[in-house]
Structure 1
Amino acid sequence: MNTYFYYAELNAQNVCTGIKSVTGELNFPSHVLISDYDISYLNKKYENGEWSKEQFLPDAGAIQLSRMDQLEKSQADQDELLMQLMLTNGGN
C-alpha cells in the first residue's frame, strides 16, 4: 500500500496555487507539506511557517493580459512559420 504525501504548491509570492498528492517526499522550496488533500489552502499565503487566513485571489486583469500576450505570440509564431513555408515552396 502506498503512502501519500500532500503538498501545497506556492508561487513566487508564497501563495498556494495548487495541491499535490505524491507517493514520495518532495524537497522543493516551492512546496509545503500539508496534512491532507485540502483545497482550503488555495490562494492563501504561507509566511514564517504560518498560513494566512485571508485569500490572495489572482488579478483577473493581469491573467487576461497574460493570455492575450500568449495568443499574440502564438499568432506571430504561426505567421513566421507560414512565411518560411511560402519561401521554401516558392509561394506555391
Structure 2
Amino acid sequence: MATIHGNWQPSHGENGGKLFLWADTWGTTMPEATGDRHPFALDVPALVQAWSNVPLAFPPLDKVTEQTLTLHLPSHRQQKSPCPL
C-alpha cells in the first residue's frame, strides 16, 4: 500500500505555485538507500500507478516532472523527534 503526500508551494510570480506530490510505501525490512532518495519513496511511474486508485484527477503526464523537495519535519528545539520505526 502506498501513502500519497502533497505540499503546495506558493509562488510570488504569475503561475500561482506548484503542487508537489510524493508517495512512499512501507515494509517489514528497511530497503537499501539509494542516493538522497528516501528508501521507501516511489518513483514517478509507481506514483502515477498509486494515484490511479484515488478518485481524483492527476495532472497530465506531460506536466509531471521529477524534482527534489527538502522538507523540515517537526522537531523539538532541544532534541530530535524519535523515528517511529
Structure-2-length-normalised TM-score: 0.26
Which structure carries more helix by proportion? 1
Rg larger for: 1
Q: Normalised by the size of structure 1, how large is the TM-score? A: 0.25
